[in-house]
Amino acid sequence: MAEIRIEGLTRTFGDVRAVDDISLEVADGDFLVLLGPSGCGKTTLLRMIAGLLEPSEGRILLGERDITHLPARQRDLAMVFQSYALYPHLSVERNIGFPLRAARVPRAEIRRRVREVAGQLELDHLLARRPRELSGGQRQRVALGRALVRDPQAFLMDEPLSNLDAKLRTATRTELTALHRRLGRTFVYVTHDQVEAMSMATRVALLSGGRVEQVGTPTEVYDTPASVFVAGFLGAPPMNLLAARIEADGPMLTVQAPGLRLPLWPGTAPDRDVTLGLRPESLRRIPAGDATARDHPGVEIEGVVTAIENLGSEEVAWCDVHGQPVALRGPRPIGLAVGDRTRLGVDPARVHLFDRASGRRLT
Ligand code: ATP
């Protein structure tokens, strides 16, 4: 079993708590992506799992084994780096076979396994080349091959696609997902790229300031962000976040945001400052003269378009809503121009609410 359990893991560098009391479980066969902005502690956490960095506190378990203080080479985990870390003077064949030679595996066996892995990664025809004679994508596959050949219990990857161009990144993402499915092994993968995380992960752990903000499937973290941080990190553009207040309004509770009054589901206490979250794709442009929203007064906001962004198949209209920026995303053409005044329909079922002080999700 290649289940990885992390318990109260902490690593400090002087005053900096790079990883701050993280507990996390990676189930056998999971593709867990550690996602977060630069400096949130992703690499530090991964390097501790790999055995390249000593934790200040806490434990790491692989299956039933406590590996916290085990040297990296005894952990049965393979690490793939952003820089690939290939040996420039060795051929592809010898680079891939390197871990097996180091482990004194018989020559014929090394040859057989290197050929097998090269076949899986479509590197067969490149075995005699040196790394400098390869493209970035091919180098990345050699680095992956060197990890695969050991048949480790789990793969640890630190931004392995970041040196590839956009097209190759997309192709390699698909390949990695297929590889994960084929191997059925545990992957822990570090990135700051939400598209990589959302497209490859079975589960995502969002990190901020050395702590875990939320762990869940890509759908869970996108649809039910646990905090303002998660809401504002995911999505392109990310969720619109507006200062609002919950107030009692006769028999109903309403959320008051500038220009917007929303009836609120029961169970939320009034007189509370909140942050209101609206995904750009959940807003609807109400064409001028359309009366459909009249039955639901207040479930729309009005803004003035300040910029239009062309995303190819879609467009984003940035609007100023009482001084707060709000993005609307929809199929191109979105039918708006800079300077237009527009009404935006808000679906109360797709509103997110966060406590203003703590940033945590309400309801
Ligand atoms: P990035 O995406 O930029 O690689 P990251 O999320 O991987 O960022 P880490 O590299 O884990 O972040 O760093 C977390 C924090 O720890 C940062 O504040 C960083 O400056 C600090 N840090 C990391 N390594 C060291 C070190 N060897 N000495 C001092 N501080 C460090």
Strand-pairing partners, residue 275, are 243, 354
Question: Domain residue spans in the chain?
Answer: 4-233, 240-355
The pLDDT confidence band at residue 291, using thresholds 50, 70 and 90, is low
242, 326 Cβ separation under 8 angstroms: yes
Over pLDDT 70: what percentage of the chain? 94
Would you list the DSSP string of 39-57? Answer: TSSHHHHHHHHHTSS--SE
Ligand 1 center from residue 290 Cα (angstroms):
52
| ipTM of the complex model | 0.96
Which atom of ligand 1 is closest in space to residue 210's alpha carbon? Answer: 14
pLDDT in tens, 172-215: 899 899 989 988 999 999 999 999 999 999 999 999 999 999 99
pTM: 0.90
CB-ligand 1 contact for 11 (6 Å cutoff): no
Nearest CA to ligand 1 atom 18: 39
Q: Which of 43, 46, 189 to mutate to test the pocket of ligand 1 (most atoms within 8 A of CB)?
A: 43
224, 264 Cβ separation under 8 angstroms: no
Q: Which fold has domain 4-233?
A: Rossmann fold (3.40.50)
How confident is the model at residue 328, as a pLDDT? 97
pLDDT in tens, 303-352: 999 999 999 999 999 999 988 899 999 999 999 999 999 999 888 888 89
Q: Which one of 3.10.25.10, 2.40.50.140, 3.40.30.10, 2.60.260.20 gives the CATH number of domain 240-355?
A: 2.40.50.140
Burial of 173 (0-12, 13-18, 19+ CB in 10 A): middle
What SS3 state is found at 214?
strand
Average pLDDT, the chain: 90
Nearest CA to ligand 1 atom 21: 18
Q: Which of 10, 13, 22, 192 to mutate to test the pocket of ligand 1 (most atoms within 8 A of CB)?
A: 13
